[in-house]
Amino acid sequence: EAGVAQSPRYKIIEKRQSVAFWCNPISGHATLYWYQQILGQGPKLLIQFQNNGVVDDSQLPKDRFSAERLKGVDSTLKIQPAKLEDSAVYLCASSLSSGLLNEQYFGPGTRLTVT
């Protein structure tokens, strides 16, 4: 079974530029999450999708971050314009969302450096 795929793996941009990340979850997984992991900290949720609908985006900085999951499969996360403090690893995770166990599987992440 293929895991969660993300691209690009690394991205370096200047502040005020735009950037987009892509995530392809495990086939059949209805729930998709985007987490932000700043160096030395645990991941923090940005947004959760159930199929193509947003379940929780309370911690997404909506003035600069946006995300979509058209057709309920792949997802993109965009930052426009980027700030220095956006430097982090952006992790995508997916889960099956059925039954007692709802284990989340994480992708390799996209490491963003804003200069």
Partner 1 sequence: ELKVEQNPLFLSMQEGKNYTIYCNYSTTSDRLYWYRQDPGKSLESLFVLLSNGAVKQEGRLMASLDTKARLSTLHITAAVHDLSATYFCAVENSGNTPLVFGKGTRLSVIA
Query: Site map for partner 1, 49-88, x if CB under 8 A?
Result: -x-----x--------------------------------
In this complex, which beta carbon is closest to partner 1, that of residue 25 or of residue 107? 107
Q: Quote the tokens at residue 105.
A: 């599987």
Name the strands in the sheet holding 75-79, side by side, starting at the edge strand that comes first in the sequence: 5-7, 19-24, 75-79, 65-68
Question: What contacts 41, CB < 8 A, 6 or more positions away?
Answer: none
CA distances 33 to 13, 18, 45, 62, 85, Å, are 24, 21, 7, 16, 21
* Residue 45 is a binding residue for partner 1 (CB under 8 A): yes
Among 79, 107, 112, 114, binds partner 1 (CB under 8 A): 107
User: In the bound complex, what is the minimum distance in angstroms from residue 20's beta carbon to partner 1?
Assistant: 19
Which helix H or strand E contains 48, and what residues bound it? strand 44-50
Q: Tell me which stretch binds partner 1 (CB under 8 A): 11-19, 64-72, 75-83, 98-106.
A: 98-106
Q: Where along the sequence are the contacts to partner 1 (CB under 8 A)?
A: 31, 33, 35, 40-45, 48, 50, 56, 91, 95, 97, 100-109, 111
